């Protein structure tokens, strides 16, 4: 079984060696898809997947995600990016090109509840999460031994109301300059605007409620008091507005009048795990584009 997994991983790594992903956001207009496709063809690239979406063909925003193979990608990518700048300027694009073989590095923040962290570690260990978990940071020591059993560095940085600024500074020092995404896996602290600015649209939070309903604390108690028939969870990017950032993924499950608050929490934990794992995977695979306070997710 282990040999089979390693062979699959090796084959996938070889396939990804010359593969890249292009993300594009720009005002809609004629010729965008044709121009991008021709550009890649003329530069020797082969498109293996392409998705696009327009908010409104008559003056709305256009979004595109393209996966392509390019021989000797590492060598040829700088020239391709330089040449593509003219296309980007022509259509007023915001664009990025990412090498698939360069996996995104994740820092996971967690407090005491472990279910979302455990789910991500399972996906990572199985090779299903196309990213590298570089570290776990927590304001409690509860998860240290479990995290370190995976060979992942664990950093305990306590946070109090009086030390929040100093704690965030320590977190930034630990993270350094090579972390691509921060995942708040039930990290029960509010992130400051200064910290958010360092990682704009690169902090994903799981909110234990189907936003925009039941924002803030104790959402399951709020849901129980309202007698809801479905509960859910929401993964979103973190912004200065509490629980108000662009939504990446949501899911729900039906409940009944016989479910008490503890039952709602139990059911909700399962939803939270699945929703957060999906959102992190989609970000890692460059499937999410942010426009204002919304996302376009090519999944």
Q: pLDDT by residue (tens digit) across 203-249?
A: 999 997 776 677 777 877 887 788 878 888 999 999 999 888 999 99
Residue 7 has pLDDT above 50, yes or no: no
Q: pLDDT per residue over 62-109, tens digit each?
A: 999 999 999 999 999 999 999 999 999 999 999 999 999 999 999 999
DSSP β-ladder status, 154-156 and 131-138: parallel
Token pair recorded at residue 172 = 């930034």
Give the start-end residues of each E strand in the chain.
Answer: 19-27, 46-54, 61-69, 94-99, 104-110, 131-138, 154-156, 181-184, 203-207, 230-237, 247-254, 288-291, 294-297
| 162 noted as active-site residue | no
Query: Dihedral, CA atoms, 141, 280, 94, 37, nearest 10 degrees?
Result: 150
Residue 19 has pLDDT above 90, yes or no: yes
Token pair recorded at residue 126 = 């199985």
Task: Choose, from 130, 132, 142, 243, the residue flagged as catalytic.
Answer: 243
For 147, the enclosing helix (H) or strand (E) is: helix 144-148
The values of phi and psi at residue 292, to 5°, are 55, -120
Higher per-residue pLDDT: 224 or 151? 151
Residue 5 has pLDDT above 60, yes or no: no
Instruction: Determine whether 160 is exposed, middle or buried from the number of CB atoms within 10 Å of its CB (0-12, 13-18, 19+).
Output: exposed
C-alpha closest to that of 238 among 162, 167, 183: 183
pTM over 0.95: no
Token pair recorded at residue 16 = 């990804």
Distance CA 279, CA 106 (A): 13
Token pair recorded at residue 15 = 């396939």
Sign, Cα dihedral of 131, 136, 138, 140: positive
pLDDT at 272: 95
């Amino acid at each position: 079984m282990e040999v089979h997994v390693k062979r699959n991983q090796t084959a996938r790594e070889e396939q990804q060696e010359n593969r890249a992903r292009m993300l594009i956001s720009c005002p809609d207009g004629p010729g965008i898809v044709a121009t991008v496709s021709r550009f890649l063809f003329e530069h020797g690239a082969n498109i293996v997947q392409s998705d696009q979406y327009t908010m409104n063909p008559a003056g709305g925003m256009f979004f595109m995600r393209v996966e392509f193979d390019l021989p000797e990608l590492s060598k040829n990518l700088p020239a391709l990016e330089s040449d593509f700048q003219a296309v980007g300027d022509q259509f007023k694009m915001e664009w990025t090109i990412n090498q698939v073989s360069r996996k995104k590095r994740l820092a996971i923040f967690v407090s005491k509840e472990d279910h979302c962290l455990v789910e991500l570690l399972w996906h990572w260990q199985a090779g299903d999460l196309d990213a590298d978990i570089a570290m776990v940071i927590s304001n409690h020591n509860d998860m240290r031994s479990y995290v370190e059993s995976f060979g992942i560095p664990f950093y305990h940085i306590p946070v109090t109301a009086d030390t929040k600024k100093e704690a965030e500074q320590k977190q930034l020092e630990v993270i350094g300059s090579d972390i691509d995404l921060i995942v708040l896996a039930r990290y029960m602290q509010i992130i400051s605007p200064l910290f958010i600015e360092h990682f704009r649209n690169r902090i994903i939070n799981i909110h234990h409620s189907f936003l925009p309903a039941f924002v803030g604390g104790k959402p399951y108690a709020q849901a129980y008091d309202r007698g809801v028939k479905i509960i859910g969870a929401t993964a979103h990017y973190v912004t200065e507005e509490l629980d108000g950032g662009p939504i990446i993924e949501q899911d729900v499950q039906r409940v009944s009048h016989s479910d008490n608050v503890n039952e709602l929490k139990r059911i909700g934990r399962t939803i939270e795990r699945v929703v957060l794992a999906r959102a992190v995977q989609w970000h890692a695979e460059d499937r999410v584009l942010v426009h204002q306070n919304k996302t376009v997710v090519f999944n």
